[in-house]
Structures are given as structure tokens and as C-alpha cells.
């Protein structure tokens, strides 16, 4: 009986083994991804995502670098991985998939449907059609503001090697920031210029940056945040005030640090659009080279600060970065002199030959003058304006902005895997001012972030005069007074004289604005 039972069990085990051996094995398929320029057939870097056909869920791709490493991923933003210029290998279970790929902002989304099953290995090629080629326009893409945290040095190295190239950036500024205790995890603070050089090559340059800042509390408002690019050495103290340093007083303004950075030949860019009380004073004094918008957050609007500064006659280019991680496709396209270098690119930004975007590329000419240039008019007359926008996502409307007001709108239309708009307009100019183009949309990009794009202005001088709008000046005066009130309420000073010295910066700016209002008057 016992021997019969053993024989039956042995036979059953053999039968089960035979049954399983007869089934298709469930091991993963080795997959190699290659991205190709659809026109030339040349291999190129980019990002890829694989979605399961049965449920649409993004699939993990072991061995590939996570494009959104360090960033909270939600919904449709998950599943993007970097594919280098020589391709990338991973594994996937057998099944049917939708594979998507793109490169930076300049290509359309490429899609292929694949079925993995019959062979143990597979190669997936995706041909990426270009919507525009920035280099043909003499433009180079740069990110002015990047920190990384809570990564190992090896992870940070891979981040800087892989993601900027996959995004089609040509320049990246890695920034130093100090914050009490938290900065122990700020891995990018460890990089010296010599360390950054090892990431260069294949069309990308690296530069240094320092975020010089003051907060009354750990986060939120304070004197402001300003970026110093291409420094010879750090400006110290890097951060100011007990809100961020954990000790001391609010005695020191940003101004001394700005002046020291300028003496080093650094480019000075105000961060975070409308954040920070000192911005207006330094812009009016000519200490700022550009204004970063939406670097890390959608703080404020263009109208709240940028347009007001332009409307009192300032020449202030628009710029941007991404702050913590390259969480977005945000960049500055600048028309730099060849050969491209960190100084030549920064010179282009300072000259205003640039635009900021996380979506479409914008162009603008006024009577043949390009972005950043000045059209000098002897007398009132009509000018001819041409503008374009082109991008992967539907940006809905291309808008022409004159002295802060939208004067012409052109809807975006679907075209060749993307969206484009072409605007032509004639405008009577009877006062000094400026013209720029932007988009207006509620749509979002592949990382579920709001689309934006805005050019730097073309300036319109009339009879030798720049723009000056008294109402814009009065609103800036109001902002200066609100800043003084906040400083009086929140400032922690070592002595009354220290507080008075800080407030003097705002009083001098207000005095100069008042003088100009009285001198120019008008609307």
C-alpha cells in the first residue's frame, strides 16, 4: 500500500513538472531601446515610457535612470526613464505594450505598439520627428538654477550625466545653497568647478551658481533670493538671517552680496518671479541682469512684477531654471555668439536675446528687429510684427503683449505631430514701450505641470525716450511701502540702526521712483 502511494505521488510530481515545462516560461524579455532622429537616422538621447496595453499602467524599467528621480510622481507623470545616445537595456515581462518616447521640447511624441513573447530578446526603435531645431536658429537651451538633495554622490553624478542630455540642454548651472541643518543633504553643494567639468562633452556645458537668499522664516518671504552665475568664488555668508541660518539677526541685506558678485563679473538673476522684497530696489538700480520666472514654483504672474518693471523703462530679460531637481522641461533659449561657452551664453541672456519656456519655442520680430533689440522711432508710426509658436503640446493661444496688455491673439493649430501658431500684426506706436509674445493656456505637459512660454521684449524708444508709466510706478511704490511694513514687523535686528540701514534701500528706491513720476507724469 505504502509503495503504491509513493509511486502515485512520484508519478504526480513528474506529471506536474511535465505540465509546467510544457508551458511558455514566464521569465522577462531582455529589451534594448534605441531612439533615432527621424530625419537623419542617427541615434540620440531622450526619455521613454512603457505602458501595459491591458491597464495602461507605466512599467518599471530596471537598469534605466528614472527621469523624475527625486520628484514626487503622480498619475500620468510616472514611468519616464532616460535612454542615452547609445541606447539602453532593460527587461519587461511578456505581453503587449505601448511605448512612448520624446527628447526635450524639440521632438514630437513617438509611439509604437509592441508584443513581447516569442523571443527571449527584443530591440525597440523609436524614430523621433523634430518639431523645431533650436540650433538652426542659433539658440541654445540652458537651465540657470539647479540643486539636488537626498541623493548619494554616485546618484547625483548619474543624474548630471544623463538627464540634461536627455532633455536637450546645452548648459546647466549647478547651484550652491545653505540652510541650517537641511543642507547636510544638499549633494550639489559638494561640487567644485573641476568636478562639473567631468560631465561636459556631447554638446553640454556646466557652470556654477550660488543662491544668495534671506528668509524671515524657514520658507516664504524675506529680502529675497538672487542667483549669482559663473562666480570665481562663493560670496559669504551664502544665506542671511536667522530664518534660514538658525542664528543671528536680519541686519544684512542682499545688496552687499550682489555688489561683491558683480565685482567678480558674475551674472545676477533674481529668482522666483514675485518673491522677495528687495527685487524692485535692485531692478530700479540696474543691479539685476534678468528675472527668473517659475523656477521651482508658479509664484505670481507676469503682470505683478515683470510688466511693471518693464513699464517704468527697465531693460530686464526673462529667464528661468528649475530649482530643486529638473522637475520640468523649463529652460531659457538664448541666442549666443559662437563658439558656445558659459560666458557667451550668459552675455546673450543679459542682452535679452532669450525666451523662457517649458513648452513651445517662440519667435518675434518688429520691423525686422529681433528679441532683445531696440527699435528707435523718431516719431509715431505703424510697425509690422511677426511672431510664431511651435511645440509638442497644445498651447492654445499665442499672444502679442504691448506694454503689458494683450493686443493680438492667434489660436494654436495641430500640425505634424505638434501645435503651431503664426501671428502677423500691424500696430500704431505713439508712445515708448515694449513688445513681447507669450502663450495662454490651461493645458499641461507630460509631467502634469502648467505650460508657459514668454519672450524677452523688443523695446520701442520714441524720440529718444524709454517707456515710463506712472501707474506702474505707483504700484511699485506701493510694493516698496508694503515691504518696509513687513520688515518693520518681522525683522529681528541687533540694534535700531541696523534696521534703519536695511530700510534705507527701500527709501532710496521710493525716492527715485517718486522723482521720475514727478518728472515724467502722464498715464
DSSP 390-441: EESS--BEEEEEETTEEEEEEE-EEETTEEEEEEEEEEEE-S-EEEEEEEE-
Query: Could you tell me whether strands 331-335 and 139-147 are parallel, antiparallel, or unpaired per DSSP bridges?
Result: antiparallel
**Shortest CA distance to 405 belongs to which of 365, 360, 438?**
438
pLDDT of residue 26: 54
**Shortest CA distance to 374 belongs to which of 332, 318, 429, 435?**
435
Note if the pTM is more than 0.75: yes
Question: What confidence tens digit (pLDDT) does each residue in 325-356 have?
Answer: 999 999 999 999 999 999 999 999 999 999 99
Instruction: Give the helix/strand (H/E) hosting 388.
Output: strand 381-391
Residue with cell 518675434: 364
pLDDT of residue 169: 98
pLDDT of residue 14: 31
Tell me what percent of the chain is helix, strand and coil, each rounded to the nearest 5: 25, 35, 40
133 phi/psi in degrees, rounded to 5: -125, 105
CATH top class, domain 131-357+468-523: alpha beta
The segments of the chain whose pLDDT lies below 70 read 1-26, 521-523
E strand residue ranges, 25-158: 29-37, 46-52, 81-83, 88-92, 95-102, 110-116, 121-128, 139-147
Architecture of domain 359-463: Sandwich (2.60)
pLDDT of residue 54: 87
Which residues 6+ apart lie within 8 Å of 414 measured at CB? 394
CATH domain 29-128 topology: Immunoglobulin-like (2.60.40)
104: preceding bond cis by omega (within 30 degrees): no
Residues of the chain with CATH 2.60.40.10: 29-128, 359-463
pLDDT of residue 473: 96
Residues of the chain with CATH 3.20.20.140: 131-357+468-523
Amino acid at each position: 500500500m505504502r509503495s503504491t502511494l509513493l509511486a502515485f505521488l512520484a508519478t504526480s510530481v513528474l506529471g506536474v513538472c511535465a505540465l509546467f515545462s510544457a508551458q511558455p516560461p514566464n521569465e522577462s524579455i531582455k529589451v534594448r531601446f534605441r531612439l533615432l532622429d527621424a530625419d537623419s537616422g542617427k541615434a540620440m538621447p531622450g526619455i521613454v515610457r512603457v505602458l501595459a496595453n491591458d491597464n495602461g499602467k507605466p512599467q518599471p524599467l530596471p537598469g534605466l535612470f528614472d527621469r523624475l528621480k527625486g520628484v514626487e510622481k503622480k498619475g500620468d507623470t510616472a514611468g519616464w526613464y532616460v535612454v542615452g545616445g547609445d541606447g539602453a537595456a532593460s527587461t519587461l515581462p511578456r505581453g503587449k505594450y505601448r511605448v512612448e518616447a520624446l527628447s526635450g521640447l524639440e521632438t514630437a511624441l513617438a509611439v509604437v505598439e509592441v508584443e513581447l513573447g516569442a523571443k527571449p530578446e527584443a530591440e525597440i526603435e523609436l524614430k523621433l520627428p523634430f518639431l523645431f531645431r533650436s540650433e538652426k536658429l542659433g539658440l541654445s537651451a540652458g537651465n540657470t538654477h539647479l540643486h539636488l538633495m537626498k541623493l548619494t554622490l554616485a546618484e547625483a553624478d548619474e543624474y548630471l550625466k544623463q538627464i540634461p542630455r536627455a532633455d536637450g540642454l546645452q548648459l546647466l548651472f549647478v547651484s550652491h545653497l545653505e540652510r541650517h541643518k537641511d543642507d547636510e543633504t544638499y549633494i550639489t553643494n559638494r561640487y567644485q568647478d573641476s568636478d562639473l567639468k567631468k560631465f561636459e562633452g556631447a554638446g553640454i556645458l556646466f557652470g556654477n551658481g550660488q543662491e544668495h537668499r534671506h528668509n524671515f522664516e524657514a520658507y516664504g518671504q524675506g529680502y529675497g533670493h538672487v542667483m549669482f552665475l559663473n562666480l570665481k568664488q562663493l560670496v559669504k555668508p551664502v544665506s542671511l538671517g536667522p530664518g534660514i541660518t538658525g542664528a543671528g539677526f536680519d541686519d544684512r541685506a542682499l545688496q552687499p552680496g550682489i555688489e561683491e558678485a558683480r565685482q567678480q563679473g558674475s551674472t545676477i538673476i533674481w529668482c522666483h518671479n514675485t518673491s522677495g522684497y528687495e527685487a524692485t530696489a535692485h531692478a530700479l538700480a540696474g543691479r539685476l541682469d534678468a528675472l527668473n520666472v517659475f523656477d521651482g514654483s508658479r509664484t505670481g504672474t507676469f503682470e505683478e512684477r515683470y510688466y511693471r518693471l518693464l513699464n517704468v523703462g527697465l531693460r530686464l530679460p526673462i529667464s528661468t531654471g528649475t530649482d530643486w531637481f529638473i522637475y520640468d522641461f523649463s529652460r531659457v533659449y538664448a541666442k549666443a555668439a559662437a563658439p558656445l561657452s558659459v560666458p557667451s551664453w550668459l552675455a546673450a541672456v543679459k542682452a535679452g536675446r532669450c525666451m523662457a519656456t517649458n513648452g513651445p519655442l517662440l519667435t518675434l520680430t518688429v520691423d525686422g528687429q529681433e528679441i532683445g533689440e531696440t527699435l528707435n522711432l523718431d516719431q509715431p508710426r505703424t510697425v509690422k510684427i511677426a511672431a510664431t509658436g511651435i511645440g509638442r503640446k497644445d498651447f492654445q493661444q499665442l499672444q502679442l503683449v504691448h506694454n503689458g496688455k494683450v493686443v493680438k491673439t492667434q489660436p494654436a493649430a495641430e500640425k505634424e505631430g505638434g501645435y503651431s501658431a503664426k501671428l502677423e500684426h500691424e500696430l500704431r506706436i505713439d508712445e515708448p514701450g515694449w513688445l513681447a509674445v507669450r502663450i495662454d493656456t490651461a493645458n499641461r505637459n507630460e509631467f502634469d505641470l502648467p505650460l508657459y512660454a514668454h519672450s524677452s521684449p523688443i523695446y520701442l524708444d520714441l524720440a529718444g525716450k524709454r517707456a515710463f508709466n506712472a501707474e506702474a510706478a505707483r504700484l511699485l511704490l506701493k510694493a516698496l511701502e508694503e515691504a518696509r511694513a513687513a520688515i518693520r514687523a518681522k525683522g529681528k535686528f541687533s540694534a535700531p540702526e541696523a534696521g534703519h540701514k536695511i530700510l534705507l534701500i527701500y527709501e532710496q528706491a521710493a525716492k527715485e521712483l517718486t522723482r521720475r513720476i514727478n518728472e515724467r507724469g502722464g498715464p
